[in-house]
Amino acid sequence: MDIAGTIGRRGFLKAGGGFAALGLAGCAGSRLGFGAGGSMAGFRVAPMERIRVGIVGCGSRGGGGVSRFCKFPCVEVTALCDIKEEPLAKCQKRLADASRPKAKEFLGPEAYRALCDSGLCDVVYNTTPIDLHRPVSVCAMNAGLHVLVEVELTDSIEGNWELVETAERTRRHCMMLENCCYGEDELLMFNLARAGKLGDVMHGEAGYIHDCRRMMFPKEIGGEEPWRTMFISSKTKTGNDYPTHGLGPLAQAMNVNRGDRFDFVVSVTSRSVGYSEYAKGKFGPDSVYGRRAYMAGDMNTSIIQTVKGNTIMLQFCESTPRPYTRMNLLQGTKGIIRTFPLRIAWAENPVDEARNFFSKERLESVKAKYGSKLWARYGKDAKGHGHGGMDFMMDLRWIWCLHEGLPLDIDVYDGAAWSSLAELTAQSVNKRGQPVDIPDFTRGGWKTANPLDVIDFDASSLGIASKS
């Protein structure tokens, strides 16, 4: 395509990876044309018999990745990067305990650049704090590496555009690792939608309700502040700051970016009380934390409408004592599925009613027929490997896709669209709930992109035998 003809008002933005990326100044809407390489919808690379992984960010999440990757014979952890020596040592021990070779270490705030240029890796696993997701990912793709990014993809609309355009230009995968898309109930929800058992799906509800107050503060006055502390004090963190866990599975079931797309969002947030009361109770009302103002409201509620008129209600709360839930509701013209706990009901024909959820016996029958074949085959392997097994299933899937040369389930457009809600909901909240347009990161590609199919495969070629 004629790149010069698409520049228009675009300016050059300096990126953390040391390159100039094309950007559209002052616009959160659709960009003009694709990056130099074209659309990433359905993108695939040649099958990778051996997958060499470099981990940037070797704390709890990166260390867990080391242990999980060692379960796959075709995956080698070849490089480790962190700003501290202790996490590197812990990851090396995990490798040694799994009888795996020692990985090369890269130590320092910008040592990820040397890792990306080392020639040791095919894939970078980016588990850094959110403000480093973009520069590390851009650097990796510019070095010819695929990148796997923990949620969210990045924390700004401009950052999401930069990752989209970098992936298009470099022809490298940029997958956000949304593990909740691989939960057993979420895959059942997806399968029921694909099988048409819920009818014409038009509405979903999702959320992230998690009492995280203890993680937002140091253990004691004078202790090291968690990185999360700055988020709850920031004036910009007024919307849904963690949208993807609940939103991702619904977006896949509702064919977002593959036949439909997010159009706009309206969002409101309750007043902020929970963090202040917790801080006063833990540290005292006259302490530095007891006196601090917390900008993050306790409950954010957002409504997304798609171009085709479907709706999603999304909620977010981390500051009150409440049992964990992601909500997960999918409603169609024939029936409904919701989780936490799992409940299903549908009508057998258009004039029937569904007054009650299915009995325990019928629910088990539905699960047996429409449940995930991956969980049936590899559920015993998955249990105990992160978040109830979702992490293992997520890894099993992206490893399989790279090994077989298949498109990844969550492409850069998905990651950008889902992650963009963090900034866009804040914009709506700060405009008293006014609608805010959601960018079309696919630039119209959603109209022709193929929907995801039901996930089912035999992973024996990866050296993973079914234990069912």
What digits encode the pLDDT tens for the residues 14-43? 333 333 333 322 233 445 455 568 999 999
- For 100-142, the pLDDT digits (tens) are 999 999 999 999 999 999 999 999 999 999 999 999 999 999 9
Residue 286: other Cβ atoms inside 10 A: 8
**110's tokens:** 């910008």
Domains in the chain: boundaries: 12-177, 181-374+407-447
| DSSP H/E element including 160 | helix 157-170
The residues facing 125 across adjacent strands are 55, 148
Residue type, 303: I
Q: Rounded to an integer, what distance in angstroms lies between the CA atom of residue 98 and that of residue 67?
A: 8
Q: Rounded to an integer, what distance in angstroms lies between the CA atom of residue 81 and that of residue 116?
A: 10
**Contact (CB, 8 A) for 304 and 438:** yes
Chain-centroid distance of CA 365 in Å reads: 31
For 191, half-sphere exposure in the C-beta direction (CA atoms, 13 angstrom radius) is 21
**Contact (CB, 8 A) for 419 and 151:** yes
Residue type, 415: G
Q: Rounded to an integer, what distance in angstroms lies between the CA atom of residue 459 and that of residue 51?
A: 15
- For 325-380, the pLDDT digits (tens) are 999 999 999 999 999 999 999 998 888 999 999 999 999 999 999 999 999 999 99
**34's tokens:** 């694709």
Alpha carbon distance, N-terminus to C-terminus of the chain? 50
**Contact (CB, 8 A) for 125 and 65:** yes
| Rounded mean pLDDT, 261-288 | 96
Chain-centroid distance of CA 349 in Å reads: 36
CA angle 42, 312, 211 (to 5 degrees): 105
| DSSP H/E element including 134 | helix 130-142
Residue 228's pLDDT is 78
Strands 174-176 and 104-107: unpaired
Q: In what order do the strands lie in the sheet with 343-346?
A: 343-346, 335-338, 329-332, 201-209, 311-317, 300-306, 262-269, 436-437
- For 219-238, the pLDDT digits (tens) are 999 998 887 787 787 666 78
User: 67 in the Ramachandran plot: left (φ > 0), alpha (ψ -120 to 50) or beta?
Assistant: alpha
- For 294-336, the pLDDT digits (tens) are 888 999 999 999 999 999 999 999 999 999 999 999 999 999 9
Q: Rounded to an integer, what distance in angstroms lies between the CA atom of residue 445 and that of residue 341?
A: 36
CATH assignment of 12-177, given 3.30.1360.10, 3.30.365.10, 3.60.130.10, 3.40.50.720? Answer: 3.40.50.720
Residue 382 has pLDDT above 50, yes or no: yes
Query: pLDDT-based confidence at 465, cuts 50/70/90?
Result: confident
Q: Which CATH architecture has domain 181-374+407-447?
A: 2-Layer Sandwich (3.30)
Among 8-17, 242-251, 402-411, which stretch is predicted with the lowest mean pLDDT?
8-17
Strands 262-269 and 75-82: unpaired
